[in-house]
Chain A
Amino acid sequence: MSANTIDKPAAVRRRPRSESSQTGGRSELKIALVFIAPALVGFLAFFVYPTIRGFYFSLTQYNLLGTPKFIGLDNFVKIGKDPLFWNAMGVTIEYVLLNIGFQTVIALLLASLMQRLTQSTLLRGALLLPWLISNVIAAMLWFWLLDYQIGLANVAMEWLGLPKVAFFANEFWAIPTMAFVNVWRHMGYTALLIYAGMQTIPKYVYEAASIDGSSEWNSFWRMTMPLLRPVLAMILVITVTGSFQIFDTVAVTTRGGPVNVTRVMQYYIYQKAFGEGQFGYGSALSVVLFAILAVLAAVQLRLLRAGESDLA
């Protein structure tokens, strides 16, 4: 849902108009404080304070019952040597690569098809439907469709003469299955975001291209992709960040199994902090995850030069 922030440049562009030049510096601070007071309290209490506290807890040993005991960087040293952490990292990265890779390619394909073929709201609505239901429901639904015994997918595969697959219980297939479920849930939504981005590309660009005899395939790679880049960069940052925090699908299906192959990062954090009462260690893990996400976002924005548009 926060993917809507791709409109940020528009906000920046608009701002100067409402600047205080014509107001003679008359400040409405008092009344403004009243207006933002509730939000400010929420911001300080549930965003700022926990962020600071999260860093502090990561430096402590804390089992939720007593008081946190300061132990410096011990948790982080331990994380470096924790095979389950590295396992979680690897599993999560495998998941993110599969999820984002397929999701982005499919969404691009769907958005391009929609742009060429139809403006139908009905079609867009239908593609959006999976995104509206919760992760939990999507997971349950596919847990049933992919059931080993009588799930439709396996029955169909058997009918086609293929071997049955225990999608959620197979060590090789478990993570690709999780990725599939979430690609299913998000592909239409991501396609709509990209589609919206495509609408901002002026028509004359394509008209000029087609007059010059450029094929559709060429137009896509030479025009659409470069002009879509800022939008795509924001979408990628948001989907990658979300993807790294996969939890619900795992929590209601495999719970980390079989043998750790689906113990993704956030599930590991959850187990450490709440299952095993190692709250300090769990916090340290979440600091690591936070750092990875921040670095990844910065790298993606830099590589895709998100702030600049080729349409200048």
Chain B
Amino acid sequence: MATIEVRAAEDANRKQRRRNLSPGRIAAWVVLFAFLLLSLFPFYWMIRTAFSTTRSLPSDPTSLLPVDFTWGAFQRVLGLGTQAQAIAEGGSGASVNFWLYLRNSVIYATAVTVGQVFFCSLAAYAFARLRWPGRNAVFGLFLGALLVPPIFTSLPNFILIKNLGLLNSLPGMILPSFLMAPFAIFFLRQFFLGINREIEEAASIDGAGPWRVFFRIILPMSTAPITTLAILTFIGTWNDYFWPLLVGNTDATKVLTVALGVFRSQTPAGSPDWAGLMAATLVTALPVLILFFAFARKIIDSIGYSGSK
């Protein structure tokens, strides 16, 4: 009932607003749409270029449609076309090991996400619910790690990974973020604190230990924030560049972002293979874009509101 009234009030409000379509309001909409266009248009241009033929691009640089439409750029990136065809369309003809880089990116992002989210949810539970001396002090220390800039720890971590003999290996890339990330613990602890205690206490009275409570009650009740965190972690890791560049810069261990940098420098001097480059960026961005379209509301709502639910 109350919600209906609120709805009605909102509708009335909206109608009134629509009536007051003052010049200022129109100008505000125009500005908002200008920024919307600025945000989205480059993506369109990326797609338009990826379906063009590199050699034909200069002939019509402003065409809104692909110039000389072809799937060739994607074939070059995915290693499906022939070398002769690639060169004919303006590619370098060098082979790009796309599937290998894709595999590396998938392994890197998935492993970090799974490990980090799982181990951080364990720790977050201990910080939110278990009673032990020094709990808040340790939590404060963990949060302190947020203040250390990644570049600062990256250099010594590189040495550590090197000493462990894990340089240029996927485990070496994964390990530093596999067990812990201060933000993940903070995020999940916030949520666990908000869960009604009575449910757990009822379970404890029934003789369930902390493990049972955690796996049978807390985790199932937290699928929403855990999914959000997992998506954010996956996207962040997928987009990582600096760390994989340091410890995974061999052909066998390159992830897509690192490989993209190479894709650009590999193209013959003079005119770069723009269509190939845009196809490569598009394919690299695709998994993240799909995740976003599947979980858009979760991701959007998590920004700024995280943990306060």
Contacts and interface: CB of A to CB of B under 8 A. Distances in A.
A79 interface: no
B308 A51 contact: no
Interface in A83-139: 106, 109-110, 113-114, 116-118, 121, 123-130, 132-137
Contacts of A149: 58, 271
Contacts of A279: 155, 159
Secondary structure of the A contact surface, majority rule: helix
A57 B156 contact: yes
B146 interface: yes
Contacts of B168: none
A204 interface: no
Nearest to A279: B155
A85 to B, nearest CB: 15
A196 interface: yes
Contacts of B162: 64
A46 interface: yes
Given A26-B131, A141-B281, A184-B38, A50 B153 contact: yes
B130 A28 contact: yes
Interface stretch (A171-179, A205-213, A219-227, A284-292): A284-292
A121 B271 CA distance: 41
B203 interface: no
A297 interface: yes
A132 B153 contact: no
Interface residues of A, number: 110
Please tell me the size bucket of the interface on B: 35 or more
B23 interface: no
A241 B150 CA distance: 10
Contacts of B281: 133, 137, 140-141
A303 B63 CA distance: 50
B193 interface: yes
A23 B131 contact: yes
Contacts of A106: 35
B151 A289 contact: yes
A110 B32 contact: yes
Given A132-B235, A140-B281, A142-B42, A2 B183 contact: yes
Interface stretch (A37-45, A70-78, A304-312): A37-45
Contact of B61 (A10, A125, A133, A152): A152
B193 A18 contact: yes
Contact of A269 (B151, B159, B235, B289): B151
B160 A49 contact: yes
A143 B46 CA distance: 11
Interface in A149-193: 149-152, 155-156, 159, 184, 187-189, 192-193
Interface stretch (B81-89, B91-99, B135-143): B135-143
B303 A4 contact: yes
Nearest to B126: A35
Contacts of A133: 239, 281, 285, 288-289
23 contacts: A1-B236, A4-B302, A4-B304, A15-B193, A18-B193, A35-B210, A36-B126, A36-B127, A38-B119, A49-B160, A54-B153, A127-B39, A129-B39, A137-B285, A142-B42, A184-B42, A192-B303, A194-B304, A196-B305, A197-B304, A241-B149, A248-B241, A297-B147
